[in-house]
Structure 1
Amino acid sequence: MSGSDTVFNVKPGGALHGAVRVAGDKSISHRSIMLGSLAEGVTEVNGFLEGDDCLATMNAFRAMGVSIDHHGEGWVRIEGAGLKGLQKPAGPLDLGNSGTSMRLLAGICAGQDFDVTLTGDASLSKRPMRRVTEPLEAMGARIETAAGGTPPLKIAGGHLLKGMDYVLPMASAQVKSCVLLAGMYAEGETCTTEPAPTRDHTERMLNGFGYSVQRQGARACLQGGGKLTAARIDVPADISSAAFFMVGASIAPNSDITLENVGINPTRDGVITILREMGANIEVLNPREVCGEPVADIRVRAARLQGIAIPEAQVPLAIDEFPAIFVAAACAEGTTVLTGAEELRVKESDRIQVMADGLQALGISAEPTPDGIRIQGGQPGAGTVQSHGDHRISMSFAMAALRARGEIIIEDCANVNTSFPGFVELAASCGLNISQN
């Protein structure tokens, strides 16, 4: 389905109410399939995200011979092939829109005995991959990319990998995870050191599957040649998906919503910190731990938000939530300034430019900078916004209608299914005046 097939029409006003569970965590869903496929024994996953990105990961491992039973509704049963049990696929592995799939699979495939090609859609084919191919090549892998270091990735099998001590030039969980996953196939020890904290689901889940990862501060190390043992995984609700509802409830008068069973991993909770600094009324209730991941219910009520200078230390902890945060800034009093976020320019779209264009289309003053944006708060007007096929842009502007003066039309929204199938129905059930055609 091409992105141009789906348009969101969102009428102004309304408020968000109720207790809801948003879609399952995308990062954990991806990794449950990957590690379950490489484990010995049967892994069962509950709460799996039925989005296109995670299904692309599932299909890739099926193409490499892994038996995966999937009946929908978040339940998956994986018969692990073991670290050395993957088989050469019949053709290229098409990973659709999923950068996570491609970057993490590059690390796994670099350790195999067979050749494999990783491809993706038009958006993924523009995304930078040298950030993973360079450390993998330093470990001994052989990988060809398209001109400019973009996909497809042609990975040659049968090359011995050597462990390495890799200092990441940027804060990227995908790069860190790629190197650590390759490290399982490498001789000796592989370590990563990151310049700022990023999501640590890979390290937590490797330990959960019995593969020891030693962590000290910004450094994570593992020894090659170990094994993964099957596990049961309960996937929490995705904080990135919850973020749209946190922002919506914060900006819409009289809102009061509780988001249930949300993952609040400390490497992912920047959106809560930033919104609270803006004056949001957010309560974290019933904190608990499920399968090694911290989880809680999050209650959000309407609040008067203030513009802030977003602390740069929070940027890696909220990198996927900035489209939603920009909508909060557009409805806040005063000016919000973001710096240190150049990574947003190489996501599914150039999120700085695309959000600035969309906010300007709604009459909000939004001035992009090379590494961030300056947003003058106000009240969004009516208008038509181009999402450029970016799921997070689409959902963020849908929530903006809660405070808008008129209808917001959002084009190119089909990719919402990559991370949040059922978004329109769930948002409508909470009080957003949204329809799609």
Structure 2
Amino acid sequence: MNAPTKDQSLRNLQKGGELYGKVKVPGDKSISHRALLFGAIAKGKTLIEGLLPAEDPLSTAECLRSMGVKISPIKKGDIIEIEGVGLNGLQEPQDILNCGNSGTTMRLIMGLLAGQKDHHFILTGDKSLRNRPMKRVGQPLKMMGAKVFGRCCGDLAPLSIIGNKLRGAVIGTPVASAQIKSAILLAALNAEGSTTVIEPARSRDHSERMLKAFGANLEVGGEMGRHITVYPGKDLKGQSIIVPGDISSAAFWLVAGSIIPGSELVVENVGLNPTRTGILDVLEAMEANINVINKRDVAGEPVGDIEVFYKENLKPFKIDGEIMPRLVDEIPILSVGACFCNGISQIKGASELRVKETDRLAVMARQLKRMGASVDEHQDGLTIYGGKSLEGCELDSEDDHRIAMSLAIASIMANSNSTLRRSEAAAISYPDFWSDLKRLQQKN
């Protein structure tokens, strides 16, 4: 199964065959972005082990290089070295900063640049990113004094940011979003006075953990850690960071191992940050056969290995409310899993998926229906009627990495072979997905 080129992206997907063996998923995408950004504005050298060498973090690294930050070449297995320039050491770039397909890159860099006084920055991205909402970050930054401009009254890229003197503020975010929160926290490092972010529900907390490790004066309080306050004035100091495996990438194997008959998998070195483990809660509700073993702490993040074994008669599940920020990226693969539960599964409160790389609710409903699944699409979620067999057909990732990998797992459970257009999208977060899948299908 050779990786296709951009011009030859139709991939043949074979039905059937259990998955067996051990797999180590790539470094966590969220942590990789933050390690690059925080290392860039720290003083001194930062070393990063396990950084995800995929397209999104590469976009972050390239933007930082364009602003004078020295970052060693990013290759699989290498320890990445960053020479930090300090909080105010970023240079005005000579060209437009291209964030590629990465919403995390654009939104976090907006916060980073807002307080770089008297510097002018222009941010853009690919067609998908240029149509994703940015006012949700720009608006709170403007409350701190930021100058952010863009299409559709500042909601769409290209964006223009003129670095300005910022003032601390108390900001309530409209949705529980780690990207919005992290952008505000980055801006707060350069503000006059403290800044407090108040979230409606707890989102992933990698920024808070890592900023503390870099020496920021940061406090977490309130119910379930939803109030985060930054007190500026302290320089960040370069650190050695170890990036654990991405639980959002592990999710494909956890669901696959649960639904594909005969499968036995061990997913190694998975980050188990409690703000990210909603997928494990749902699998438990499904009564899937999974075990977390070898639990340990690595560089301030909980890590473990996860065993998963096929199990018949999985229970349907319901997702709603505060769990959504803990598994928002796992909804596509969970919608595949729901097709093989005995009963009706419901996903609610997932409207955020409509403004991801694609409208993931619409795309998953459309693609699963092509395979014969029974799916109802709602404004904020899906209802999936399990127990109906899937048929092989021509599928399309629609250029969304999580859709591509979810459909790959669905195709194994189909009654006939399938094809997948734009399968190369998986490289956004998991460059070795297709080779790992091929290896796990070859039981010794």
Report the secondary structure of 2:17's partner residue.
coil
The residue that corresponds to 1:20 in the other structure is 23
Which residue of the other structure, out of 199, 207, 227, is the alignment partner of 2:204?
Answer: 199
Which residue of the other structure, out of 95, 103, 127, is the alignment partner of 1:99?
Answer: 103
Aligned runs of 1:75-90 on 2, under 5 Å? 75-90=79-94
AA paired with 1:141?
A
Which residue of the other structure, out of 361, 368, 382, is the alignment partner of 2:377?
Answer: 368
Which residue of the other structure, out of 157, 161, 164, is the alignment partner of 2:166?
Answer: 161
| 2:366 pairs with 1:357 | yes
Which residue of the other structure, out of 130, 137, 143, is the alignment partner of 2:135?
Answer: 130
| 2:335 pairs with 1:330 | no
Q: After superposition, what is the alpha-carbon deviation per residue over 1:132-178, rounded to whole angstroms, capped at 9, x for unaligned?
A: 00000110011111126111110012x11001111111110000000
Is the 1:115–1:154 contact (alpha carbons within 8 Å) kept by the matching residues of 2? yes
Output the CA distance in 2 between the equivalents of 1:26 and 1:218. 22
Aligned runs of 1:308-323 on 2, under 5 Å? 308-323=317-332
Which residue of the other structure, out of 385, 401, 409, is the alignment partner of 2:411?
Answer: 401
Report the secondary structure of 1:151's partner residue.
strand
Report the secondary structure of 2:38's partner residue.
helix
AA paired with 1:329?
A
Q: 1:355 to 1:322 in 2, by over 3 A?
A: same
Q: After superposition, what is the alpha-carbon deviation per residue over 1:271-297, rounded to whole angstroms, capped at 9, x for unaligned?
A: 111111112111011111111111000
Is the 2:215–2:234 contact (alpha carbons within 8 Å) kept by the matching residues of 1? no
- 1:4: how far off? 6.2
Report the secondary structure of 1:315's partner residue.
helix
Report the secondary structure of 2:72's partner residue.
strand
- 1:427: how far off? 1.0
Is the 2:397–2:425 contact (alpha carbons within 8 Å) kept by the matching residues of 1? no
The number of residue pairs the alignment matches comes to 432
Is the 2:315–2:341 contact (alpha carbons within 8 Å) kept by the matching residues of 1? yes
Output the CA distance in 2 between the equivalents of 1:347 and 1:127. 7
The residue that corresponds to 2:286 in the other structure is 278
Output the CA distance in 2 between the equivalents of 1:140 and 1:214. 23
The residue that corresponds to 1:287 in the other structure is 295
- 1:414: how far off? 2.3
Output the CA distance in 2 between the equivalents of 1:155 and 1:37. 19
Q: After superposition, what is the alpha-carbon deviation per residue over 1:260-281, rounded to whole angstroms, capped at 9, x for unaligned?
A: 1100100000011111111211
Q: 1:246 to 1:182 in 2, by over 3 A?
A: same
- 1:415: how far off? 2.1
Where structure 2 has 5 or more consecutive residues not aligned to the other structure, the ranges are none
The residue that corresponds to 1:53 in the other structure is 56
Q: How high is the TM-score relative to the length of structure 2?
A: 0.95
Is the 1:118–1:151 contact (alpha carbons within 8 Å) kept by the matching residues of 2? yes
Where structure 1 has 5 or more consecutive residues not aligned to the other structure, the ranges are none
- 1:315: how far off? 1.1
| 2:224 pairs with 1:214 | no
The residue that corresponds to 2:114 in the other structure is 110
- 1:52: how far off? 0.4
Deviates more, 1:68-77 or 1:384-393: 68-77
AA paired with 1:207?
K
- 1:71: how far off? 5.0
Q: 1:397 to 1:12 in 2, by over 3 A?
A: same
Output the CA distance in 1 between the equivalents of 2:243 and 2:334. 24
Q: After superposition, what is the alpha-carbon deviation per residue over 1:389-411, rounded to whole angstroms, capped at 9, x for unaligned?
A: 00000000101122211112121
Q: After superposition, what is the alpha-carbon deviation per residue over 1:54-78, rounded to whole angstroms, capped at 9, x for unaligned?
A: 0000001100001111251242100
Q: After superposition, what is the alpha-carbon deviation per residue over 1:301-320, rounded to whole angstroms, capped at 9, x for unaligned?
A: 10122212224322111000
Is the 1:398–1:408 contact (alpha carbons within 8 Å) kept by the matching residues of 2? no
Which residue of the other structure, out of 388, 412, 429, is the alignment partner of 2:439?
Answer: 429
The residue that corresponds to 1:239 in the other structure is 247
Output the CA distance in 1 between the equivalents of 2:15 and 2:385. 20
* Percent sequence identity over aligned pairs: 43
Is the 1:331–1:403 contact (alpha carbons within 8 Å) kept by the matching residues of 2? no
Is the 2:26–2:245 contact (alpha carbons within 8 Å) kept by the matching residues of 1? yes
Deviates more, 1:376-385 or 1:59-68: 376-385
Is the 1:3–1:389 contact (alpha carbons within 8 Å) kept by the matching residues of 2? no
Deviates more, 1:53-62 or 1:327-336: 327-336
Q: After superposition, what is the alpha-carbon deviation per residue over 1:234-257, rounded to whole angstroms, capped at 9, x for unaligned?
A: 100100000001111111111110
AA paired with 2:198?
T
Aligned runs of 1:165-184 on 2, under 5 Å? 165-184=170-189
AA paired with 1:395?
M
Is the 1:329–1:375 contact (alpha carbons within 8 Å) kept by the matching residues of 2? yes
Is the 1:310–1:338 contact (alpha carbons within 8 Å) kept by the matching residues of 2? yes
The residue that corresponds to 1:67 in the other structure is 70
